[in-house]
Structure 1
Amino acid sequence: MTRITSWHGAPSRPLYTPPAGAIDAHCHVFGPMADFPFSAKAKYLPEDAGPDMLFALRDHLGFARNVIVQASCHGTDNSATLNAIAKANGKARGVAVVDPAISAADLAALHDGGIRGIRFNFLKRLVDDAPKDKFLDVAKRLPAGWHVVIYFEADILEELRPFMDAIPVPLVIDHMGRPDVTQGPDGVDMKAFRAFLESRDDIWFKATCPDRLDQAKDGIGGDPWNAFADAVAPLVADYQDRVLWGTDWPHPNMQDDIPDDGHLVDMIPRIAPTAELQRKLLIDNPMRLYWPEEA
């Protein structure tokens, strides 16, 4: 398998300046492979993108903290994520991917290492097996204050509803469940996602990944991701206390149209146009989930 470089080699400095204390609440680390080998089941094999690179980007973009989400290429071995959190000196927390049979002691050890949630991935191109019954069992055994992050595509939202409705802890939905943003703010996918958000008041979402959701096709779309801005800004405004933002660096498995991270940051005022919204998106909301002792 050929190793992939999925990130921009020289991201621009954003025109937008995040408020002091801003948090990139969705990013990853890859390896380094010599220290933290990738899973034998990985669907892609990235080049190394370790904590030093992540923290350099954090500083370059004007952020103060990171939430590091376990990437699928590392499977259920969270060592690379835990290593990055440890190196952050209190400026990072994490989301793990675990074997559903994980013990209470091992969950406690993850908590001590800075993990505050677990992730369930339902993208068939990335995972071979997503056992809902076993996922539900481990979701019922999480340490106090944890949540479940779920990654899925819009066409299986209704199929997943009974499973997600049964999870007894807060939910965080990656990339809004990948709606078709070209449908606009009142499109079928966005209406279905709004109905889901209305079903319980502890569902959060990440207003992230314009590069994945608004890709250039037939001369339409791509950076500056206007369809994403138009579709997502009303959602952020209406659910402003349950929304997070992140870069998704180093953009797992992206090989075409790799985004400029500075441009991603410049999307923030387009989906959260006021200082109050920006503070909720970048500070207040992620602090409540990941650093509640300081919020």
Structure 2
Amino acid sequence: MTRPCPGPLPVTSKPGWKAPPGSTDCHMHIFGPYHRYPLSPGRGYTPPEASIGMYLDMLNAIGFSRTVVVQPSIYGTDNAVTLDAVEAMGLDRARAVVVVDESFDLPALKAMSPRGACGVRFNAVSGNGTPLEQLEALGEKLAQLGWHLQLYAHAAELIALEDVLKRLPVPVVIDHMGGVLASEGGVDSAGFRALLRLLEAGAWAKLCGYRSSAGAPYRDVAEMARAMLRAAPERCVWGTDWPHPSMWPPLQVPDDGVLLDALGEWAPQEAQRQAILVDNPARLYGFGPPIRPA
């Protein structure tokens, strides 16, 4: 029996600053409804349902208009819930990062492009996905589609994979600050040094820092975030990771308004925020120019 975890907070606090038009949440998941999208028996946790409507309420609360739906491990390589969520929200505001393995041939991958798929995720933390041994083989396929490869791994795995990641023929997007924990050395750790080397070599990274932190207001990861922004200001993006699965007590489920306030402290300049939230995601995920209010 898998372990149940809490769902998202019912109310999102209002951030202390206003996000620019076209801001993109580059990392979130949809769970359910389970009668339509049954859970994978190989999953490592069981979350409550987290619907598109619930998510859009949160997105409106933080003032964002675009999103990237990331296939969660609880569904394995059945991407129906993720691709259907993009369809429901529309290609003008949503993209998908799917989970596949070597059984998916090029035509099968290509068929997902019109539905908003633009990347493949390798999840070495939660499992129930693509083996890391398939990184290079899938990287060759993704290069033919113009997709990127997204990696969620522990810091030790990031170190071990550094050379492989550098030679992949596709953009590499590193989740959750490379899995580096503030409590295990932060900016001084070998894992973070590997992350910086990858950024300097052309990788992208997500400033989703709460999993690296001891908790709100996440100041213990501020130095890491600022170092990442110095290394690759044009290749850092940000995401909520809503609905924040696998956060068991005593860990607290994050408030997405507080998460955005933390980003505001890491990137206090308007130009930085515009790059992280609008311009960088538009290039990575293929969004058009945002519609700006008159």
TM-score (norm 1): 0.90
Structure ranking higher in helix proportion: 2
- Residue deviations 1:41-84 (CA, integer Å, cap 9, x gap): 00011111021211221111100100111010111000000111
Query: For residues 145 and 192 of structure 1, what CA distance do their matches in structure 2 show?
Result: 25
Q: Which amino acid aligns with 1:209?
A: G
Which residue among 256, 260, 280 is the counterpart of 1:265? 260
Larger deviation, residues 239-248 vs 262-271: 262-271
| Structure 2 gap segments, 5+ residues each | none
SS in 2 for 1:160: helix
Hey, what does 2:229 align to over in structure 1? 236
Aligned partner letter, 1:214: S
Deviation of 1:184 after TM superposition, in Å, equals 4.6
Partner of 1:214: 213
Residues 93 and 115 of structure 1 are in contact (CA less than 8 Å); yes or no, is this contact kept in structure 2? yes
Q: 2:74 and 2:272 mapped to 1: Cα distance?
A: 34
Match of 1:101 among 89, 103, 112: 103
1:117 aligns with 2:116: no
- The equivalent residue for 2:195 is 193
* Structure 1 gap ranges (5+): 216-221
Deviations 1:187-225 (A, max 9, x none): 443223212323x22x10001132x1112xxxxxx2111
Q: Which amino acid aligns with 1:44?
A: Y
Aligned residues of 1:100 and 1:134 also touching (Cα < 8 A): yes
Q: Distance in 1 between matches of 2:129 and 2:24?
A: 32
Q: Aligned pair in 2 of structure 1 residues 260, 131: CA closer, same or farther (>3 Å)?
A: closer
Which residue is 1:218 aligned to? Answer: none
Please tell me the residue identity of whatever aligns with 1:58.
L
What is the root-mean-square deviation in Å for CA atoms of aligned residues? 1.9
Of 100-109 and 60-69, deviating more is 100-109
Q: Is the 8 A contact 2:196 2:231 kept in 1?
A: no
What code does the residue aligned with 1:286 have?
P
Question: SS at 1:191's partner residue?
Answer: helix
C-alpha separation between the residues in 2 aligned to 1:171 and 1:119?
Answer: 10
Between stretches 150-159 and 132-141, larger displacement belongs to 132-141
Mapped partners of 1:293, 1:20: distance in 2: 12
Deviation at 1:128, TM superposition (A): 5.9
Number of equivalent positions = 284
Hey, what does 1:219 align to over in structure 2? none
- Could you list the per-position Cα deviations for residues 105-124 of structure 1 after superposition, in whole angstroms to 9, with x for gaps in the alignment? 2111211110100001112x
**CA pair 255-184 structure 1, distance change in 2 beyond 3 A:** closer
Q: Which residue of 1 aligns with 2:238?
A: 245
Provide the residue aligned with 1:24 in structure 2.
25
Helix, strand or coil: the match of 1:42? coil
SS of corresponding position for 1:66: strand
User: Which residue identity lines up with residue 28 of structure 2 in the other structure?
Assistant: C
Matches of 1:274 and 1:129 in 2, distance apart? 38
CA separation in 2, counterparts of 1:190 and 1:134?
A: 24
Q: For each residue in 1:158-186, what CA deviation from the matched residue of structure 2 results, as whole angstroms up to 9, or x when unmatched?
A: 21123323321010000121112243534
State the match for 2:204 in structure 1.
204
Report the CA distance between 1:292 and its aligned residue: 5.2
Q: Determine the C-alpha separation between the residues in 2 that align with 1:172 and 1:134.
A: 16
Distance in 1, matches of 2:105 and 2:195, equals 33
- Map 1:269-284 onto structure 2 (within 5 A): 269-284=264-279
What amino acid is aligned across from residue 122 of structure 2 in structure 1? F
- SS of corresponding position for 2:173: strand
Contact 2:178 2:192 in 1 (8 A): no
SS in structure 2 at match of 1:87: helix
Q: Which moved more, 1:248-257 or 1:64-73?
A: 248-257
Cα shift readout 1:79-134 (whole Å, capped 9, x = no counterpart): 000111001122110100012220222111211110100001112xx216753443
Relative distance call for 1:173 and 1:108 in structure 2 (3 A) is same
CA shift, 1:293, in A, is 5.4
Structure-2 change in CA distance of 1:9 and 1:167 (3 Å)? same
- Residue 247 of structure 1 aligns to a residue whose secondary structure is coil
8 A Cα contact 1:81 1:94, kept in partner: yes
Q: 1:19 and 1:293, CA in 2 relative to 1: closer, same or farther beyond 3 A?
A: closer
- Tell me how far apart the structure 2 counterparts of residues 291 and 187 of structure 1 sit (CA, whole Å): 34
Secondary structure of 2:161's aligned partner: helix
Match of 1:54 in 2: 55
> 8 Å contact 1:209–1:248 — kept in the other structure?
no
Percent same amino acid at aligned positions? 35
